[in-house]
Amino acid sequence: MDDLKFKPLDAAATQQMLADIADEISPVKLPADKTTIQVADLAFYDEFKFYAVSDTTLPQPNQRYMLYKPGDVSLMNWTNEPIYAVNERAPIKLDRKTTIPYAKFFFHYVRGQLGRFIIVEKPEEVVWLSNANDKEKADVAQRLMPVTYKGSGRDNLFTLTATVVFKNALFKTDIKIAPYEMDVFDAELGAPEHFTIGQMKLTNEDLLLEELNVPIDPPPGEFG
């Protein structure tokens, strides 16, 4: 994810962090002298930072991710659960400036068993198979758009619009984000839907192109 700027921790800080998190991440064990850690700031949290932890005794991929502040660590597992839990504890800061970075972070590090929603804004962000032709690449490039902030509507949810790849299809979709814990009436269900702070929902999906020659990622494993 190019939007995150990772910086390496020095040896002393790495050893201290490994000692601090050892009990909380058990049964995962990280060798003290063979683990490297990088850290990135997140605009939507004041205290929590994002860490990439590599066990160099293992072949690549050998990197785990976690949200961490001293005394509080959440090991990422490719579901939304660690993010939503930290959102409530942090708490998350959501406004016009932070909703887009949050959505990009969320969809990069949440990967469902049925497939990933990959936000694509530029042609160079689309991964193609070798048999993809110039026409389909041009067709996709013509339809891509930057993630756009549309404000909050009558439902009080922040709304973004983005183009995403899901499996081998390109969609345009709205991304709804709850700025706080709330109930929102769902006209399709005919009942209120409960949202926790920072909870996401895709709506108004518009299929743009399908049967694209793009790789379909397998279900997520332990490492990224």
Examine the domain organization and report whether 112 and 39 are in the same domain. Answer: no
Per the structure, the count of domains in the chain is 2
User: pLDDT tens-digit profile of 70-104?
Assistant: 999 999 999 999 999 999 999 999 999 999 999 99
Examine the domain organization and report whether 111 and 51 are in the same domain. Answer: no
Q: Residue 70: inside a domain, yes or no?
A: yes
Lowest mean pLDDT among 28-32, 42-46, 100-104, 178-182: 28-32
Examine the domain organization and report whether 133 and 179 are in the same domain. Answer: yes
Full residue range of the structural domain in which residue 66 is found? 7-76
Examine the domain organization and report whether 111 and 71 are in the same domain. Answer: no
Q: Is residue 149 very low, low, confident or very high in pLDDT (cuts 50, 70, 90)?
A: very high
The mean per-residue pLDDT over the stretch 38-54 comes to 97
Q: Residue 222: inside a domain, yes or no?
A: no
Q: Residue 23: inside a domain, yes or no?
A: yes
Which amino acid belongs to residue 86?
V
Residue 1 has pLDDT above 70, yes or no: no
Residue 2 has pLDDT above 80, yes or no: no
Examine the domain organization and report whether 65 and 139 are in the same domain. Answer: no
CB 59 within 8 A of CB 13: no
Q: Three-state SS string across 127-171, please?
A: CCCCCCCHHHHHHHHHHCCCCEEEEECCCCCEEEEEEEEECCEEE
Other residues' Cβ atoms within 10 Å of the Cβ of residue 204:
12
Examine the domain organization and report whether 129 and 164 are in the same domain. Answer: yes
SS3 state of residue 222: coil
Q: Residue 195: inside a domain, yes or no?
A: yes
Q: Is the peptide bond between 31 and the residue preceding it cis, with omega within 30 degrees of 0?
A: no
Examine the domain organization and report whether 71 and 132 are in the same domain. Answer: no
Q: Residue 220: inside a domain, yes or no?
A: no
Examine the domain organization and report whether 122 and 169 are in the same domain. Answer: yes
Examine the domain organization and report whether 65 and 108 are in the same domain. Answer: no
Q: Residue 67: inside a domain, yes or no?
A: yes
Q: Residue 199: inside a domain, yes or no?
A: yes
Examine the domain organization and report whether 49 and 146 are in the same domain. Answer: no
